[in-house]
Amino acid sequence: MDILKRLSHYREEEEKLYWEGTFADYLELLKERPWIAQSAHSRVYNMINDAGVGEVNGKKKYEFFSRQLFGLEEALEKLVEEYFHPAARRLDVRKRVLLLMGPVSGGKSTLVTMLKRGLEAYSRTDKGAVYAIKGCPMHEDPLHLIPSHLRQDFYEEYGIRVEGNLSPLNLMRLEQEYGGRIEDVMIQRIFFSEDRRVGIGTFSPSDPKSQDIADLTGSIDFSTIAEYGSESDPRAYRFDGELNKANRGLMEFQEMLKCDEKFLWHLLSLTQEGNFKAGRFALISADELIVAHTNETEYRSFIANKKNEALHSRIIVMPVPYNLKVSQEEKIYEKMINESDVADVHIAPHTLKVAAMFTILTRLKEPKRGDIDLLKKMRLYDGENVEGFNSADVEELKKEYPEEGMSGIDPRYVINRISSTIIRKEIQSINALDVLRSLKEGLDQHPSITSELKEKYLNYISLARKEYDELAKKEVQKAFVYSYEESAKTLMDNYLDNVEAYCNKVKLRDPLTGEEINPDEKLMRSIEEQIGISENAKKAFREEILIRISAYARKGKRFDYNSHDRLREAIQKKLFADLKDVVKITTSTKTPDETQLKKINEVVARLIDEHGYNSTSANDLLRYVGSLLNR
């Protein structure tokens, strides 16, 4: 479909969704679809739920957020279950301003933007439909038309509670345009749009010290006062403040804590009561979610200021910490790179992972338990298997520092380093070493890093570098074997046959000659030695493996290459040890002979075809690993 066709298709779709009718018609709608009368908070909550809620390791995973926010499952669960959910059920929290608190570039703005764009789309669906009094600049809730003395009856018939009073403007219109006949008042379906200023708003203070509350609540229209004769005539008022426009939906409040406390006071009292004062009118009811964001320092100083004390209870703070999982951090970088203008540069495998390792290390706090170092903690947090630890240890580690994730390196910094490297060097390919180097150089220019912290971070860079060295070696060694998985499996089967014979004290049969032979002690030991199993410990190790195999068999599971972490490691190391000399010589020779050349080409081809390298990054990798193996 070409773009013009799509535009007209879109317009048609929008027109199809449009509805208008009298209040009487609206009540009919309401009988069939009572949810259309829901509050703004409830709409947000349902929007999140309707997108789907999964579960990963006993934690909720909201599809709504999962396309753009990574690694924040716990913070999001808290936000949804402790704020949106109770707010949707009209509990008191909805009367407080939601304040997202977290470190710079931790995804707060992204989260708010997702809610805004989400609501715009949701208001175009059946479940998220919103209706308003036609012609009202605040898209007032039609049910406000129901006089208060009839609301109990209405509740009994429709099961819907009405909150909020009819605004002075619509009260006047009701009298003048409709002669007081509520049933005739025109209602229309509205569609949220920040651009059109319907249901979604952003307030960004111009000068926080001298901010005028009118920017939020609208102001007198002096050009029409003469016409209407009085300031208190609602027609002489422009309901065009951000709070007016965001009614029924969401208003983002940027830099909220930078505002003067008088201003805040005004704002917060209005959210508290669910209504606000504009001009010389009675209170205007508002139904909207107000979200602000701040960083920890700003929040602490706000809290420390005695003058703000009374405001605390009108704010609900939800932490948005940094992600603490390496694999999720990688996804963040991928996303940010895809959105940037360096998206077409080749990024060698493991590059983002290694950068992410560094970043996560800067965010983690040193474990208090003596048996876990920072690297292990990093792996455990990412859900990796670490020998001797399980998920209970992870929970325990998390409890050591409930505030973890509020400091460290931010993702934008890493992306800036990556893109500046690319741009400066005009290269078409970038690898982990380039990025680590660039991160290191960047530490000197980083504005907020003390020399003590810098030292720590340099240390994390070298930890990440060591991790990369291991990854690089493994990658190359794997690529040297025609089929790595196959070889590993063959070697393991061979080992297991021997172990079985050894433990059962029986002989094996030679597959070629058919003659009986003793278990191959030399082979078994050459594998076991790779993971430091001593002569004395070998029997126990072999028996343990047999037990594991039969436990698997009992459960009907197949014991395979990945079933036993230590055995897998031993097999891998053994394969690599056998290969080491070939790899070493082949990768480091300056003048390869014909067979070596053939092997190199083969390996490069495999790296490209199977492991995601291009020819530059594959050759760089080989050269680097050659130098590592020759140290």
Q: Which stretch binds ligand ADP (CB under 6 A): 62-70, 250-258, 419-427, 456-464?
A: 62-70
Q: Are 56 and 70 in contact (CB under 8 A)?
A: no
Q: Which is nearer to ligand ADP, 107 or 205 (CB)?
A: 107
SS3 content of the chain, % helix, strand, coil (to 5): 60, 10, 30
Q: Which C-beta is closer to Mg ion: that of 109 or that of 526? A: 109
Tokens 């000399």 sit on residue: 581
Q: Count of residues binding Mg ion (CB under 5 A)?
A: 1
Q: Minimum Å distance from CB 585 to ligand ADP?
A: 44
Choose the stretch contacting ligand ADP; rule: CB under 6 A; options: 100-108, 123-131, 214-222, 392-400: 100-108
How many residues are there in the chain? 631
**Closer residue to ligand ADP (CB): 72 or 278:** 72
Q: How far apart are the first and last CA of the chain?
A: 59
Question: Which of 109/232 has CB closer to Mg ion?
Answer: 109
97: which strand partners?
Answer: 315
Distance in Å, CB of 461 to ligand ADP, minimum: 21
Q: Residues 167, 247, 271, 323: which binds ligand ADP (CB under 6 A)?
A: 323
Q: Does 254 engage in binding with Mg ion (CB under 5 A)?
A: no
Q: Which of 350, 318, 317, 315 is nearest to 333 (CA)?
A: 350
- Residue 411 binds ligand ADP (CB under 6 A): yes
Residue 454 CA, chain-centre distance (Å), reads 27
Which one of 70-78, 257-265, 377-385, 388-396 is the stretch in contact with ligand ADP (CB under 6 A)? 70-78
Residue of 29, 40, 62, 71 interacting with ligand ADP (CB under 6 A): 71
Structure tokens at 173: 């219109």
Given the structure tokens 């060698």, which residue do they identify?
Answer: 348
For 19, counting Cβ atoms within 10 Å of its Cβ (0-12 exposed, 13-18 middle, 19+ buried), the class is middle
Nearer to Mg ion, 295 or 614 (CB): 295
Q: How far is the CB of 97 from ligand ADP (least distance, A)?
A: 17
Structure tokens belonging to residue 276: 């606000």
Radius of gyration of the chain measured on its C-alpha atoms: 33
Q: What is the 8-class DSSP label of residue 369?
A: S
Should residue 68 be labelled a site residue for Mg ion when binding is judged by CB under 5 A? no
In the block, tokens 């859900």 appear at 383
For ligand ADP, the closer of residues 114 and 579 by Cβ is: 114
Is 412 one of the binding residues for ligand ADP (CB under 6 A)? yes
Report the partner that residue 88 touches, choosing among ligand ADP, Mg ion, none (CB closer than 5 to 8 A by kind). none
Contact 313, 575 (CB under 8 A): no
Report the SS3 class of residue 101. strand
Strand, coil or helix: 221:
coil
Buried-exposed string 357-366: b where 16+ CB fall within 10 A, e elsewhere: bbbbbbbbee
Among the listed residues 39, 134, 136, 56, the one whose alpha carbon sits nearest the alpha carbon of residue 94: 39
Q: Which stretch binds Mg ion (CB under 5 A): 42-50, 103-111, 273-281, 491-499?
A: 103-111
Q: What would the x/- binding string for Mg ion be over residues 429 to 468, using CB under 5 A?
A: ----------------------------------------
Q: What is the DSSP letter of 329?
A: H
- Please give, one letter per residue, the 3-state secondary structure of 18-52: CCEEEHHHHHHHHHHCHHHHCCHHHHHHHHHHHCC
Residue 108 beta carbon to ligand ADP: minimum distance, rounded to whole angstroms:
3
Task: Name the amino acid, one letter, at 508.
Answer: L
Q: Looking up tokens 């393991």, which residue turns up? A: 492
Residues 597, 602, 608, 612, CA torsion sign: negative
68 or 619: whose CB is closer to ligand ADP?
68
Does residue 67 interact with ligand ADP by CB under 6 A?
no
Residue (66 or 109) nearer to Mg ion, CB: 109
355 binds, among ligand ADP, Mg ion, none (CB under 5 to 8 A by kind): none
Shortest Cβ 345–ligand ADP spacing (Å) = 18
Is the distance from CB of 184 to CB of 19 less than 8 angstroms? no
110 contributes a contact to ligand ADP by CB under 6 A? yes
Minimum distance from residue 412 beta carbon to ligand ADP (Å) = 5
Minimum CB separation of residue 332 from ligand ADP in Å reads 4
Q: Which is nearer to Mg ion, 76 or 130 (CB)?
A: 76
Q: Does 109 bind ligand ADP (CB under 6 A)?
A: yes
Comparison of 143 and 332: residue with beta carbon closer to ligand ADP: 332
CA distance 257 to 261: 8
Residue 146 in the binding site for ligand ADP (CB under 6 A): no
Does residue 105 belong to the site contacting ligand ADP (CB under 6 A)? yes
| Residue from 72, 289, 290, 583 binding ligand ADP (CB under 6 A) | 72
Of 101-109, 160-168, 197-205, 468-476, the window that binds ligand ADP (rule: CB under 6 A) is 101-109
- 336 interface partner picked from Mg ion, ligand ADP, none, CB below 5 to 8 A per type: ligand ADP
> Shortest approach of ligand ADP to residue 114 CB, angstroms?
9
Q: Is 109 in the site for Mg ion (CB under 5 A)?
A: yes
Binding residue (CB under 6 A) for ligand ADP from 290, 291, 316, 332 = 332
Q: Is 102 one of the binding residues for ligand ADP (CB under 6 A)? A: yes
Contact 65, 80 (CB under 8 A): no
In SS3 terms, 531-596 reads as HCCCCCCHHHHHHHHHHHHHHHHHCCCCCCCCCCHHHHHHHHHHHHHHHHHHHHHHHHCCCCCHHH
Binding residue count for ligand ADP, defined by CB under 6 A? 18
Residue 519 interacts with ligand ADP (CB under 6 A): yes or no: no
Counting contacts by CB under 5 A, is residue 113 touching Mg ion? no
CA 300 to chain CA mean position, Å:
25
Least distance to ligand ADP, CB of residue 69, Å:
4
Least Cβ distance, residue 109 to Mg ion (angstroms): 3
The reply to whether 70 sits near ligand ADP by the rule CB under 6 A is yes
Q: Which residues contact 385 (CB under 8 A, 6 or more apart)?
A: 565
106 binds ligand ADP (CB under 6 A): yes
| Cβ within 8 Å of residue 525, ≥6 positions away | 535, 538
State the residue for tokens 């240390």.
Answer: 459
- Please give the Cα distance from 351 to 415 (Å, whole number): 12
Of 291 and 545, CB closest to ligand ADP: 291
526 makes contact with Mg ion (CB under 5 A) = no
CB environment 80-90: b (16+ within 10 A), e (fewer): beebbbbbbee
Q: Interface with ligand ADP by CB under 6 A: which residues?
A: 68-72, 102, 104-110, 323, 332, 336, 411-412
Q: Interface with Mg ion by CB under 5 A: which residues?
A: 109
